[in-house]
């Protein structure tokens, strides 16, 4: 039976990725290193320090020249200064209904200060479990963050559905043996085809979530709600 919904944060709960990109761009400009913003969207969901390392490697820059932990620290500060927090329309109201039916959790690759700052501001008291990039050694696309969430929730893998919006997040959820619904907030839907179901936008996602039936398995829930999806 469905007992829990596990949400990614950036791009699913909050429209925040442009601010992540802007903050990282500021830092790379100061370092004098080119940065490909598209790569951040494609690697969205990974631990911040891993994204920084990948960005440097993409430009053939030896990350030994830089202190990665210091870059992450500065990045967090810049993000907090730049960000203007926005939920997706209808999502707070949706979660307030869902919390009466299920346990709700967040699994994000972002750093702990960012995740808790966003959730406390926009979704206070909604989530019973939160896993950040600082809470695990191996982040998405490894299954570790979702496995940790399942353990903290004290549920079985066939009792939850993950809601993601990035390829590495979908990959992590599936590697953990979990059902996954994906919404292509910033990417082409074709990049999320590993998910059990892809919805086109948040309006459809919210409608689908509110129509899930708790007395069936996640797989059955998704099959019964597939008619709500308009691809």
Identify the residue whose tokens are 């501001």. 121
Per DSSP, the residues of 190-203 read GGGTTSSEE-SSHH
pLDDT at 214: 80
User: Distance between terminal CA atoms of the chain?
Assistant: 27
- Structural domains of the chain, count: 2
Residues 135 and 200 in one domain: yes
- Measured CA to CA, the distance from residue 97 to residue 216 in angstroms comes to 18
Cα atoms in the 13 Å half-sphere on the side-chain side of 182: 27
66 and 95 together in one domain: no
Q: 102 and 34 in one domain?
A: no
Sequential DSSP letters for 50-81:
HHHHHHHHHTT--GGGS-HHHHHHHHHHHHHH
The answer on 104 and 47 residing in a single domain is no
3-state secondary structure of 220: helix
The CATH number of residue 67's host domain is 1.10.150.240
What pLDDT digit, counting tens, does each position of 117-163 carry? 999 999 999 999 999 999 999 999 999 999 999 999 999 999 999 99
Residues 111 and 156 in one domain: yes
Of 82, 101, 118, the residue that ends a domain is 82
Same domain, 114 and 189: yes
Cα separation of 165 and 182, whole Å?
5
Q: Is the Cβ–Cβ distance between 7 and 175 less than 8 Å?
A: no
Choosing from 37, 53, 82, the residue where a domain stops is 82
Q: pLDDT tens across 24-43, in order?
A: 999 999 999 999 888 898 88
Element (H, E) at 92: helix 91-98
Q: Please write the tens of the pLDDT for every residue from 165-187.
A: 999 999 999 999 999 999 999 99
188-225: pLDDT as tens digits: 999 999 999 999 999 999 999 999 988 888 888 888 87
The 8-class DSSP code of residue 88 comes to P
pLDDT, position 225:
77
Same domain, 187 and 103: yes
Instruction: Please give the average per-residue pLDDT across 101-106, as a whole number.
Output: 97
pTM recorded for the entire structure: 0.90
Query: Does residue 169 share a domain with residue 203?
Result: yes
Tokens of 68: 């990665």
Whether residue 92 is found in the same domain as residue 168: yes
Whether 231 has a pLDDT exceeding 60, the answer reads no
**Helix ranges restricted to H, 7-67:** 17-31, 37-42, 48-58
Same domain for 116 and 223, yes or no, is yes
User: What backbone torsions phi and psi does residue 107 show, to the nearest 5 degrees?
Assistant: -125, 110
Could you read off the pLDDT of 54-69 as tens digits, one per residue?
Answer: 999 888 876 667 889 9
Closest CA to 7 of 111, 95, 124, 121: 95
- 84 cis-preceded (ω within 30 degrees of 0): no
Q: Let me know: does 152 contact 128? Beta carbons within 8 Å.
A: no
Backbone angles phi, psi at 136, to 5 degrees: -135, 160
Task: Based on the fold, state whether residues 64 and 104 are members of the same structural domain.
Answer: no
Do 77 and 147 lie in one domain? The reply is no
Task: Find the domain containing 160 and state its range.
Answer: 4-15+86-228
Q: Is the pLDDT of residue 115 over 90?
A: yes
Mean pLDDT of 69-97: 90
């Amino acid at each position: 039976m469905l007992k829990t919904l596990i949400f990614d944060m950036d791009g699913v709960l909050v429209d925040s990725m442009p601010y992540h990109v802007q903050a990282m761009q500021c830092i790379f400009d100061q370092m004098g290193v080119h940065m490909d913003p598209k790569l951040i969207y494609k690697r969205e969901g990974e631990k911040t320090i891993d994204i920084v390392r990948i960005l440097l490697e993409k430009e053939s820059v030896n990350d030994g020249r830089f202190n990665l932990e210091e870059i992450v620290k500065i990045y967090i500060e810049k993000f907090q200064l730049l960000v203007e927090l926005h939920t997706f329309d209808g999502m707070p109201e949706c979660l307030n209904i869902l919390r009466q039916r299920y346990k709700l959790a967040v699994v994000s690759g972002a750093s702990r200060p960012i995740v808790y700052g966003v959730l406390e501001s926009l979704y206070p008291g909604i989530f019973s479990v939160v896993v950040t990039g600082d809470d695990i050694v191996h982040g998405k696309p490894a299954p570790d963050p979702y496995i940790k969430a399942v353990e903290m929730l004290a549920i079985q893998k066939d009792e939850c559905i993950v809601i993601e919006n990035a390829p590495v997040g979908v990959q992590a959820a599936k590697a953990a043996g979990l059902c996954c619904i994906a919404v292509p907030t910033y990417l082409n839907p074709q990049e999320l085809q590993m998910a059990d179901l892809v919805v086109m936008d948040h309006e459809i996602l919210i409608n689908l979530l509110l129509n899930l039936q708790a007395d069936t398995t996640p797989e059955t829930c998704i099959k019964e709600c597939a008619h709500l999806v308009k691809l």
